[in-house]
Every structure is written in structure tokens, then in C-alpha cells.
Homo-oligomer: A and B are copies of this chain.
């Protein structure tokens, strides 16, 4: 039997209007109320009546999510959340990977498939906002990640400068003074902005503590994979850092591996922290300290912005920032208990 809005409302103990507001992605619903309704939607396995809606509104029922790499755990986990959120609004998600290539980002943004999709969520690497704004078609678009350039496009971000600063401050709070950083980037890749803003947060924290940024303690990488982290850590060993901020968890897991091979105890001699809170880091030995962005919120806000845009395409663009938290585990605190 089909689950109706009325059933969801009864289950949640709220009005049908409130359920409708949540399902339609309106923002004037309190977070507590929204969670209540979403729990009921999930428990009753509610699905928007896709085909009827599509006919009524001339929509395809598909949205696209384009990320740089599906096999990077951060994006794989984010994709799962986007699929879940989109389903609540009756959308199926077409997932595309751009490999961070300008050519593919442009194909996605210029709406090659605009006859197929109702909207696009894009995490750009190669193109900046001004470029995307110049080439985009009429398809509603929401961008994820760092805002580079000031164009008028809906946007969900989290404060990467603050994230890297908090991570570095955590290392400093342990009394470490030779805090290295792995994840600087050079050239075109640096334009994606993630490396730049995380670098800024790292350098701000050092400056606030009265410590210099030593070039000998920073490492530039070609990509954010484990192998790059392991190589960079290897080359840092001679500099005797007592802590390392890695600009993502994959780099940090690579660094942990290099330290294990070299027989350097973590965190006793070198404390390690990453950013992203991917699942791997919860089961590594030692477990990985990290900054956990609210991925569920990124997905929820992105899908909601898209949905809202479909209702009123002429509205000015909006920017939503989501929170994060420090998750301190064994790689900085050691084994406890």
C-alpha cells in the first residue's frame, strides 16, 4: 500500500502541511521538526510519487551529482548521503566522476544532458566559479567545496580554514612545536582551493602560537592519495617533526603507514591528524584523529538548494555553510584505558 503524506504526519505526530513542507524542501521548518518528519518518512519508507510529479511539473525525476573521484572515500560517503536525501524528494541521482578534468567539468556544467536532468550538484576542481558561471546553461546548479571567484551560484561549503586551524591547534595543544603539513599543492591543481584554504588554516594556527612556518616542514603533493602521503612522510622524517597535519585522511593514512615502516611510534614521537573523517580512519591502527565535516548536512543542504531553485529560479544565489567537529583518536592521544 502506498504511504501517503497523511500517514507520515500521523506517524510523526505533526500536521500534513509540515510533512509537505519537509518533503518539498522548504526552509522554514525547524531542525527538530524536520528530523522528526524525516525519521517518519524513513520508517514508513515514503517515496514521493515520482512519475505523477514528473508529469505535473515537466521534470525528469533525475538529478546529477558530479564529483572528482568516486573511489575517494570522502566522495563515496558524500554520494551515499546525496542519494538518500534526493530519494526523499523523489529524485534518482545520476552520479558522474569528472576526474577533476576541466573538459569533463565543462561538459557537465554546460548541460550536455540538460534534457535529462532537473538539476546538477557539482564539486568542481579545475574550473572556478566565474568560469562555471560563464559556460553554464539554465539547469539549476549547486556547487560544493571552496568558493573561488564570486559568481552568483548556489553553494554549500564548510569552513576549511577553520577546520585546518582547529586541527593544527589540537596538535599544538599537545605541546608539539615542530608541526609539519602534508598537502600543499602547486600549479593548476591548487586552484581547486581546498589545499590553499587548509594551508591558510595551518599557517594561521602556527602564527597565533608564535611559531614560524618552516618550508622544511611542509610538503607539496601531486594528489590527495595514500601513496602521496606515505612518500611525503618519508621525506619529512629527516626533519624530525613531532606532529603532522595532513590535508585529508587518505594522506594521513599513508603517513601513518610510512611511520610504521620506519618504526616511529605514533603519537609518542609524531602525532598525526587528518581531515574528512572517512571510515578507514576509525579502524586503522592507530585510529586516526581527524576533523569531521557534517557530510549529511552537506548533502541535505545541496539537495534542498536544488529543490528550492526549481521552485524559483530567479531568486538570488545562496551560500550555506555546514559545521564540523574535531575527533581526537589514538594518532594524537595514544591508546587510552
Contacts and interface: CB of A to CB of B under 8 A. Distances in A.
A71 interface: yes
Given A257-B285, A283-B226, A97 B83 contact: yes
Contact of A283 (B93, B116, B253): B253
A80 interface: yes
Given A76-B70, A92-B96, A256 B282 contact: no
Interface string A269-290: 0000000000110111101000
A230 interface: yes
Interface in A251-303: 253-254, 256-257, 260, 279-280, 282-285, 287
Contacts of A260: 285
Nearest to A227: B283
A248 to B, nearest CB: 14
Nearest to A263: B335
Interface residues of A, number: 33
A73 interface: yes
A80 B69 contact: yes
Contact of A256 (B226, B254, B285): B285
A4 B128 CA distance: 31
Complex copy number for this chain: 2
Interface string A76-105: 110110010000000011111100000000
Contacts of A92: 96, 113
Interface string A228-264: 0010000000000000000000000110110010000
A96 B87 CA distance: 11
Contacts of A282: 226
Interface string A214-226: 0000000000001
Interface string A96-136: 11000000000000000100100000000000000000000
Contacts of A62: 113, 116
B285 A285 contact: yes
A167 to B, nearest CB: 20
Nearest to A71: B76
Contacts of A283: 226-227, 230, 253-254, 256-257
Contacts of A256: 283, 285
Interface of A: 62, 69-71, 73, 76-77, 79-80, 83, 92-97, 113, 116, 226-227, 230, 253-254, 256-257, 260, 279-280, 282-285, 287
10 contacts: A71-B79, A71-B80, A73-B76, A92-B113, A95-B96, A116-B116, A230-B283, A254-B283, A257-B284, A285-B285
Given A70-B76, A70-B95, A93-B96, 19 more contacts: A62-B113, A70-B70, A70-B83, A73-B76, A80-B97, A83-B97, A92-B96, A92-B113, A94-B95, A95-B95, A226-B279, A226-B283, A230-B283, A253-B280, A254-B283, A256-B285, A257-B285, A257-B287, A284-B284
